[in-house]
């Protein structure tokens, strides 16, 4: 059996080399994204594990305050509560209850008190959870959200919100409240169970390792196909014979 030789041709080579380089570049980029995402998650974990801080004043470096724990004392203004729609827990669809809190030291801040099922949306269905008087609660500082590509528009007239647009929510409530930050309530014992606090999510989708491996495998597969395609027998069309033996002559 004759040994096959590797003889590349022009157009497959011009296609394969750039394609392989692009795939390898995408694989490296996904590894970089992986390390970036792991850094974000680690930063959030360290912040939420740190000692509580005072609620930062307006104009402070709010980026450094996000995901830090705070303790608030004040009174919930239940007649101004708002409903953050399309929030699920363990596969069950419901709402987050957002309620302004008038702080004991002055000022008002919106508080995401936590999740309720659809049947517990209205206050009359959870009267025990409508805490009256001055209360003290722990929570996590969060910043105003932006509408994502897949989120529908908020419906202020119906008091239905799909993302926390703090300026719009404060205007809807008609209060002199903070519009730069809000607080997500920590988990705690609430009479009647709802709302369920502790809904802060510090983990982020992190599939970059899978993407990096996929791009690397595609690059490897293309290289293998390219090599196999160009392995030719010495006698195949387009291949040059390795040696030529003159015909023997008998005398």
What is the pLDDT tens value at each position of the chain, 251 positions in all? 567 787 888 898 999 999 999 999 999 999 999 999 898 888 888 888 888 888 888 777 787 888 899 999 999 999 999 999 988 888 888 999 999 999 988 889 999 999 999 889 899 889 898 998 999 889 999 988 888 888 889 999 999 999 889 999 999 888 888 888 899 998 887 877 889 888 888 777 788 999 999 999 999 999 999 999 888 766 555 555 544 455 555 54
CA gap 63, 251 in Å, rounded: 98
Q: How far apart are CA 10 and CA 13, in angstroms?
A: 5
Alpha-carbon distance of 21 to 27, in angstroms, equals 10
Record the pTM.
Answer: 0.73
Domain extents in the chain: 1-52+208-237, 68-185
């Amino acid at each position: 059996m004759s040994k096959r030789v590797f003889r590349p041709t022009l157009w497959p080579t011009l296609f394969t080399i750039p394609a392989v380089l692009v795939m390898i570049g995408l694989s490296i980029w996904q590894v970089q994204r992986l390390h970036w995402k792991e850094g974000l998650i680690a930063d959030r974990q360290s912040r939420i594990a740190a000692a509580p801080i005072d609620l930062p004043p307006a104009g402070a470096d709010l980026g450094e305050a996000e995901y830090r724990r705070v303790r608030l004392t004040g009174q919930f203004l239940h007649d101004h509560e708002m409903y953050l729609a399309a929030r699920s827990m363990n596969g069950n669809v419901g709402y987050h209850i957002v309620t302004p809190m008038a702080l004991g030291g002055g000022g008002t801040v919106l508080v995401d008190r936590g999740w309720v099922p659809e049947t517990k949306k209205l206050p009359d269905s959870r009267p025990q959870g409508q805490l009256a008087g001055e209360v003290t609660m722990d929570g996590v500082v969060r910043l105003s959200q932006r509408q994502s590509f897949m989120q529908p528009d908020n419906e202020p007239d119906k008091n239905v919100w799909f993302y926390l647009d703090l300026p719009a929510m404060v205007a809807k409530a008609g209060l002199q409240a903070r519009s730069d930050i809000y607080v997500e309530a920590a988990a705690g014992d609430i009479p009647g169970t709802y709302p369920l606090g502790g809904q802060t999510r510090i983990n982020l989708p992190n599939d970059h390792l899978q993407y990096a491996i996929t791009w690397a495998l595609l690059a490897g597969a293309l290289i293998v196909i390219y090599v196999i395609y160009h392995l030719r027998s010495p006698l195949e069309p387009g291949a040059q014979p390795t040696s030529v033996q003159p015909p023997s002559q008998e005398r």
